Amino acid sequence: MSMTIEMAAGPAAAIVLLHRVQHGLSHPPVELIYTPHDLWPIPKVPPIRPLRIMVLDSSFNPPTLAHLALANTRRPSYDEEIATKEDTDYDAKLLLLSIRNADKALKPGDATYIQRLEMMELLAKDVVSAGHGGGSQVAIAIIDEPTFVGKSSHLRTFFKNRFANFVQASLTHTIYDTQLTFILGLDTLERLVQPRYYSSESQMITSLRKFLSPSPGGDDSRVVCACRTSPGLGNSQSADASGRADLALAAEFIASRRIVIVDIDENVRSYSSSEVRKTIGQLGSKAKEWRQFVPSRIAEYIVQESLYSVQL
């Protein structure tokens, strides 16, 4: 029985949307591939505050249990929200396939973009079944933008346009503000806070301040970095030296809790998409060793589609 699933947009429509994003035809360069309902990300009972949307950005090649752990990480509580006794969970979650980061020649046996999107929808089912608040509000999108600062800007514009279309069609009466929380691993934090990814260190600080500052002056986005913390060091330190260096560069934003460090199981955090590809390439998809790194639905899909079976 085929495990290939029919995305909400349909595989043919997904190919068209991929083409639009890859060739600069989408403005902003964002397209939704799957949504659980037509008015996503608006929940059934809309809040009077900005919508809180968790964003998990990756190449998903393939999705692993580390991706699932990140997607199921509960939203941190913040002092200003505790004081109001309001619900602190996410209103919606977005699995985001970054085309720019993934846009390289596919290796023999590698997953195509459509296959990655299909695996992302399988992953979304596990996010939903995990039972965290907002699980039934999981969507899938693609974007062509290499930086988190740029992704924040494009996504905010995308949602503003989406809500305006809802209002124009009399589906809602409100153009909601959004508060995006990008959840990432410690290795990805480096891309956010290392000057070499910007034109200069001063430009990095300026960009990050806009990205992470409250509205109306900033994007009001947040970052949650999931990693293993060291006993006695608190949640602002990492066990490894490179992690400590990255966190030092992020100190200003950690102090203001615009970047929050949370703990995640060390074993799960170490699960790597590249390790899955390498193991299958060396031992074949029938081997059991790689299956411990991915959700069962995705393992079945990889075998069915004969992914990564060529030596990489």
Residue 301 belongs to what H/E stretch? helix 296-305
User: What are the backbone dihedrals phi and psi of residue 257, each rounded to the nearest 5 degrees, phi first?
Assistant: 60, 30
Which residues fall within 8 angstroms of residue 131, CB to CB, at 6 or more apart?
none
Residue 254 belongs to what H/E stretch? helix 251-255
Residue 51 belongs to what H/E stretch? strand 51-58
DSSP state of 230: P
Instruction: Please tell me the predicted confidence (pLDDT) of residue 40.
Output: 95
Angstrom CA distances, 129 to 132, 137, 142, stand at 8, 12, 23
Instruction: Please tell me the predicted confidence (pLDDT) of residue 241.
Output: 56
List alpha helices for 169-240, DSSP H: 186-193, 201-212
∠ CA 232-238-239, nearest 5°, is: 80
Instruction: Please tell me the predicted confidence (pLDDT) of residue 10.
Output: 74
CA-CA distance, 13 to 163, in Å (whole number)?
22
Give 245: exposed, middle or buried? Use CB within 10 Å, 0-12, 13-18, 19+: middle
Q: What tens-digit pLDDT sequence spans the chain (312 residues)?
A: 333 344 555 788 999 999 999 999 999 999 999 999 999 999 988 999 999 999 999 999 999 999 999 999 989 988 777 656 666 789 999 999 998 754 456 777 789 999 999 999 999 999 964 444 444 799 999 999 989 999 999 999 999 999 999 999 999 999 999 999 999 987 788 888 888 888 998 999 999 999 999 999 999 999 999 875 433 333 444 445 555 666 788 889 999 999 999 988 877 877 889 999 999 999 999 999 999 999 999 999 999 999 998 754
CA-CA distance, 242 to 305, in Å (whole number)?
37
Name the residue among 289, 236, 230, 283 with its Cα closest to residue 258: 236
Q: Which residues of 136-161 are buried (b: 16+ CB within 10 A; e: fewer)?
A: ebbbbbbbbbebbbbbbbbbbebbee
Entry pTM: 0.88
Instruction: Please tell me the predicted confidence (pLDDT) of residue 196.
Output: 86
Instruction: Please tell me the predicted confidence (pLDDT) of residue 4.
Output: 38
Question: What are the contacts of 241-248 at 24+ separation with CB within 8 A?
Answer: 242/190, 243/186, 243/189, 246/186, 246/189, 246/190, 246/193, 246/194, 247/189
Assign 3-class secondary structure to 122-158. HHHHHHHHCCCCCHHHEEEEEECCCCHHHHHHHHHHH
Residue 282 belongs to what H/E stretch? helix 273-283
Report yes or no: 41 and 94 within 8 Å, Cβ to Cβ: yes
Angstrom CA distances, 257 to 209, 225, 246, 273, stand at 13, 11, 15, 29
Instruction: Please tell me the predicted confidence (pLDDT) of residue 234.
Output: 39
Domains contained in the chain, CATH given: 11-268 (3.40.50)
Mind listing the pLDDT tens digit for each residue in 69-95? 999 998 998 877 765 666 678 999 999
